[in-house]
Structure 1
Amino acid sequence: MYVVREGLRQILRHPTASLATFFTALVSFALLYFLGLLLWNLERVVDALGQELEVAAFLAREADVERVLSTIQDWPEVASVRLQTKEEALAQLVLDYPYLAEAKDLVENPLPDTLRLKLKDPEAVRQVAERLRHLPGVEGVEYGGELTERLVQVLAGSRLAMGVLVGLLLLNTFFSVMGSIRLSVESRKEALGIMLLVGATRRFIQGPFVAEGILLTLSAGVLAVAAGVGLYRTLARAAQSLLPFLPVLNAQDLARTGLLVLLLALLLGAGGAYMASRAHLREE
């Protein structure tokens, strides 16, 4: 109780610096939490599209189907491959367009045998398509992965930007906590010197400063997570009303991400305060 009480008193002793640190941490954690949710959601969308992504290889009439099939099955990027015969393709076409049912008996089936591939990684779709085009017996290749391909590129760029932004935000918060604690230490410099003279341990002296740092960042983290959850749910409901099939994060995902942000807040507050107070005690 002593540590927490002294930590609160030190926050009230210099409210301007404390508020500056609090709002710096609030903005950092709010951006970190909300952008993290959006990035995770984008990964869910890409995964969902990737599961539906299929590459079609159209075979020539003289193609050695077994040889082509065996070659493709050995590719590490391919999760599964199946042969759709021209009879199956025609039956599916008639099922989709019933008015063709009468015409199919009047003309020879013009459709080719087709190999349909599912990939392990959507990012490999273009490379796999190019390799398919060069296989003997393959007349043409088609895939509807343009959207998925672009989303994968956006996701890769977003991960890089997110990593840089997170690093800058965390450093900003860390040094802001150190500055605030340094101010608290300077304001109590004489009292701390006396405490050292009468035998107080360094850990006992550092305790209130660490508590101050934790209170500032943890309170900011809690508020940031609460605001982020509300904003994300509002946007998720609006998105699903337009696109009902769009995958969104559930309450467990939000809670897991929120706990990670709070853990970061705890570590930054305690670490920044510890480093600032430790530097003063070394000087002493």
Structure 2
Amino acid sequence: MYAISQALRALRHHLTSTLATFTTSLVSFTLLFLLGLVLWNLGKVVSSLEREVEIAAFLKPAADAGALRDQIAAFEEVLEVRVVSKEEALAQLQLSYPYLSQARELIDNPLPDTLRVVLKNPNQVRDTARKIERLEGIESTTYGGEITEQLLRVLGGVRFAALLLIGLLLLDTLFSVMGTIRLSIENRREELRVMQLVGATRRFIQGPFVVEGLFLTLLASLVALGLGLLAYRFLASALQQLLPFLPVLGLNDMLMAGGALVLLAAVLGTGGAYLSSRANLKESDL
């Protein structure tokens, strides 16, 4: 209780530095939370696209679709192979473009029989497509992996930039907490010397400062959590109206992210306060 009461007194006494550290932490944690949610959401989008990646192998006119299906299904990396006849392919095309039904009466079906290949690991799509294309009876192959690969490269760049920004924000918050604790120690230097003279241990003296740092970052993280959730829900709602097929994070995901944010804030607050109090108390020979 002593540590808590002294920490609250210090926060009230140094209101300017308290507000400065709180504001810095609030901005940092809000950006950190939003960046984390966005990166997590992008990862879900890419995973969803990867699950839908499949290879389309177009057969030559005289090819045996059944034999090729069995041959490809024996590949270790293949999960499923499905034969799509040219009649079925044309029927599917007509569902998307109804006007083609009129042209069907004028010309023969130009589409080839196709094998739709689903892989166990979508990352192997390029190599597997080349492997299938070398088989006798395969005219050509195509797959949707090009877009996924481009997205992965873009996501990698965005993730690196976001992690760099997150690191800078965390360092800024840590140093801000350390500065506030140092100021608090300087203002109580005489009181701390008296406490040492009457037998107070270093750990007892450090306690209020550690609690002070914890209070600062915890309060900032809770406010940031509320702001971040509101901002994300607004952005997610707007995106889903434009692109309904995009997956968004659920309530459990956001609660997990919020818990991680609060835990990180607690570590930063206590860690920064402990490091600062240890260094500055040592300087004052306490």
* TM surpasses 0.5: yes
Displacement of 1:28 after TM fit? Answer: 1.0
The residue identity in structure 2 corresponding to 1:256 is: M
Aligned to 1:217: 217
1:70 corresponds to 2:58: no
1:173 corresponds to 2:173: yes
Q: Distance in 2 between matches of 1:242 and 1:31?
A: 24
Aligned to 2:158: 158
Secondary structure class of the residue paired with 2:199: coil
Q: CA RMSD in A?
A: 2.8
Aligned pairs for 1:109-188 (under 5 A) are 110-188=110-188
**Cα deviation 1:150-176 (Å, max 9, x = unaligned):** 322222222222222222211111111
* Greater shift in the superposed pair: 48-57 or 25-34: 48-57
The residue identity in structure 1 corresponding to 2:172 is: N
Q: Does the CA-based 8 Å contact 1:179-1:276 persist in structure 2?
A: yes
Q: Distance in 1 between matches of 2:153 and 2:121?
A: 13
Q: Does the CA-based 8 Å contact 1:68-1:135 persist in structure 2?
A: no
Q: 1:144 to 1:71 in 2, by over 3 A?
A: closer
Q: 1:168 to 1:135 in 2, by over 3 A?
A: farther
The number of residues matched between the two structures is 283
Q: Distance in 1 between matches of 2:172 and 2:74?
A: 50
**Cα deviation 1:201-223 (Å, max 9, x = unaligned):** 22211111011101111111111
Percent of aligned pairs with the same amino acid: 55
Displacement of 1:68 after TM fit? Answer: 7.1
* Greater shift in the superposed pair: 112-121 or 191-200: 112-121
Aligned to 2:258: 258
Displacement of 1:270 after TM fit? Answer: 0.3
Secondary structure class of the residue paired with 2:36: helix
Aligned to 2:5: 5
* Greater shift in the superposed pair: 154-163 or 230-239: 154-163
Structure 2 stretches of 5 or more lacking a match? none
Secondary structure class of the residue paired with 1:32: helix
Structure 1 stretches of 5 or more lacking a match? none
* Greater shift in the superposed pair: 27-36 or 121-130: 121-130
* Greater shift in the superposed pair: 218-227 or 89-98: 89-98
Aligned to 1:277: 277
**Cα deviation 1:61-116 (Å, max 9, x = unaligned):** 4556546753565353x443333344543554566667777987997654333221
Q: Does the CA-based 8 Å contact 1:81-1:118 persist in structure 2?
A: yes
Aligned to 1:248: 248
Aligned to 2:34: 34
The residue identity in structure 1 corresponding to 2:71 is: S
The residue identity in structure 1 corresponding to 2:225 is: V
Aligned to 2:48: 48
Q: 1:51 to 1:193 in 2, by over 3 A?
A: same
Displacement of 1:141 after TM fit? Answer: 1.6
Q: 1:2 to 1:38 in 2, by over 3 A?
A: same
